[in-house]
Structure 1
Amino acid sequence: MTVTLIKPSSLLPKGIQTQRINNLTLFKFTEELGQRMQELLDKKKANTLDSEEIVELEAIAELDNIFSYINAVIAAQANADL
């Protein structure tokens, strides 16, 4: 069985939005992508993920890590400017 890699960047057009919080514009998942991630995490916990879902969860998790980092940098820069 061949599993196609999912590039995290392929999730950007429909899965990411910006939100204004305390004068900062931060990145976050859309409700749809957040729900999909939760579904996959629940299946992982139940040990019922198939190989394609494993790859999808890894791509979403990588994107989550990237945006968490970017948001932390944005917040740190804003605090440094105060």
Structure 2
Amino acid sequence: MVTQTMVQPSSWIETGIELHKIRGLKLFKFNHDLQTRLEMLIERQKNYLLTPEETTELAGLTELDRIFTLMNARIIAES
């Protein structure tokens, strides 16, 4: 059995994350490069072309996307 080590979502905090002001609220969002990378990895996954390294990268990005969705929902709900 091969152990899969997920890329830590915090590794993208410095370079891949932006705050966008939407309807007066600052919401978390991937920058253009990171969003493009996520979309490319998803497309490669659909075509069964992911390498093991890309699989772990996709897992990390997916986790970070879930975190942002929850945080943004909370920001919106509390406004």
Q: Please give the residue correspondences for 1:59-70 in structure 2 after superposition, counting only pairs within 5 Å.
A: 59-70=60-71
State the 1:7 CA deviation: 0.4
State the 1:5 CA deviation: 3.5
Deviations 1:5-58 (A, max 9, x none): 310100111110000011100000000000000110010000000100000000
Larger radius of gyration, structure 1 or 2? 1
- Partner of residue 8, structure 2: 7
Give the CA RMSD over aligned residues: 1.5
Runs of 4+ in 1 over 3 A off after TM superposition: 1-5
Q: Does 1:42 align with 2:43?
A: yes
Listed as ranges, the gaps of 5+ residues in structure 2 are none
- Secondary structure of the 1:18 match is strand
Alignment coverage as a number of residue pairs: 78
- Comparing 59-68 with 4-13, which one deviates more in the overlay? 4-13
- Taking structure 1 as reference, are residues 20 and 39 closer, same or farther at Cα in structure 2, changes over 3 Å only? same
- Secondary structure of the 2:50 match is coil
Between the aligned partners of 2:6 and 2:34, the Cα distance in structure 1 is 18
- Partner of residue 74, structure 2: 73
TM superposition score normalised by structure 2? 0.92
Listed as ranges, the gaps of 5+ residues in structure 1 are none
CA contact (8 A) 2:6 2:59 kept: no
Identity across matched positions, percent? 40
